[in-house]
């Protein structure tokens, strides 16, 4: 197997000492092929090596960089820090106590993608996958009640809520969001925004109650 190409001398000089320490660590602890599912967090029993623990984007900027670095520099620094964390990351947690909430938030991220094509189809499609991963979440009962209140007096919104029956079905709401994103019905848009705000508040309150 061919040896990895030598580091560009100029590039190496621009690397902060902290970054070089991580690269030196990876020389003796290289990345390998794994089958690790996406999980909520890294396993605390497999801590990150000292050379990268607590690494921040500012730590990877070249020496002499201005404190008022450009937006491009800031974003690239985040990418560099993330790249180094991926290389040094530990084993993910199995059965995380916050796995359902993490999956729920993941669903919200993809729902915001909307019709844009993401990992495996549209954002709406991916949102449904992660809502399934979150399961029948405890906030759903309260969310159904709030949706009923928000829909009161608006026949189209009431008809949508009625489709959920006695339990809130996230995929049905995702479907409504998809329709509204295309048709931009003002009344339904206001209803969806109200449900989204309630959902955020309920999930946030639930997480704080668990702390």
Are 129 and 38 in the same domain?
no
How confident is the prediction for the chain on average, in pLDDT?
84
**Which of 26, 60, 88 is the last residue in one of the domains?**
88
In a domain? residue 93: no
Residue at 160 is within a domain: yes
Domain match, 124 and 199 both: yes
| Residue 61 sits in the same domain as residue 125 | no
pLDDT on residue 54: 87
pLDDT value at 33 more than 50? yes
Last residue of a domain, one of 47, 66, 88: 88
In a domain, 94, yes or no: no
Q: Is 154 helix (H, G, I), strand (E, B) or coil?
A: coil
Residues 185 and 119 in one domain: yes
pLDDT higher than threshold 70 for residue 70: yes
Say whether both 132 and 157 belong to one domain.
Answer: yes
Q: Judge whether 1 lies within some domain.
A: no
105/179 same-domain check = yes
* 112 pLDDT higher than 50: yes
Is residue 3 in some structural domain?
A: no
- pLDDT tier, 98 (very low <50, low <70, confident <90, very high otherwise): confident
Which of 125-134, 168-177, 202-211 is predicted with the least confidence, judged by mean pLDDT? Answer: 202-211
Flag whether pLDDT at 196 surpasses 60.
Answer: yes
d(CA 197, CA 101): 16
Report yes or no on 2 lying in a domain.
no
Question: What does the alpha-carbon distance between residue 15 and residue 65 come to, in Å, rounded to a whole number?
Answer: 11
β-partners of residue 121 are 118
Is the pLDDT score of 45 beyond 90?
no
Residue 204 lies in a domain: yes
Report yes or no on 4 lying in a domain: no
Provide the β-strand partners of residue 122: 117
Q: Helix-strand-coil percent breakdown of the chain, rounded to 5?
A: 60, 5, 35
Looking at the structure of the chain, the number of domains it has is: 2
Q: Is pLDDT at 66 greater than 80 in this prediction?
A: no
pLDDT of residue 201: 95
Same domain, 21 and 106: no
Task: Quote the domain boundaries for residue 155.
Answer: 99-210
């Amino acid at each position: 197997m061919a040896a990895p190409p030598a580091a560009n001398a100029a590039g190496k000089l621009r690397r902060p000492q902290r970054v070089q320490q991580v690269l030196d660590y990876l020389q003796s602890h290289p990345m390998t092929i794994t089958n690790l599912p996406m999980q909520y967090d890294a396993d605390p029993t497999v801590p990150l090596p000292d050379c990268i623990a607590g690494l921040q984007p500012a730590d990877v900027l070249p020496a002499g960089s201005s404190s008022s670095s450009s937006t491009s520099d800031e974003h690239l620094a985040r990418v560099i820090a993330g790249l180094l964390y991926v290389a040094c990351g530990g084993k993910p947690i199995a059965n995380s106590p916050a796995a359902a909430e993490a999956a729920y938030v993941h669903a919200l991220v993809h729902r915001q993608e909307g019709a844009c094509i993401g990992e495996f189809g549209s954002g709406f499609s991916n949102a449904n996958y992660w809502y399934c991963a979150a399961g029948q979440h405890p906030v759903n009962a309260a969310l159904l009640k709030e949706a009923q209140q928000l829909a009161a007096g608006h026949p189209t919104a009431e008809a949508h809520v009625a489709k959920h029956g006695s339990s809130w079905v996230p995929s049905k709401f995702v479907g409504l969001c998809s329709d509204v994103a295309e048709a931009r019905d003002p009344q339904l848009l206001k209803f969806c925004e109200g449900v989204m705000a309630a959902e955020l508040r309920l999930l946030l309150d639930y997480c704080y109650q668990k702390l």
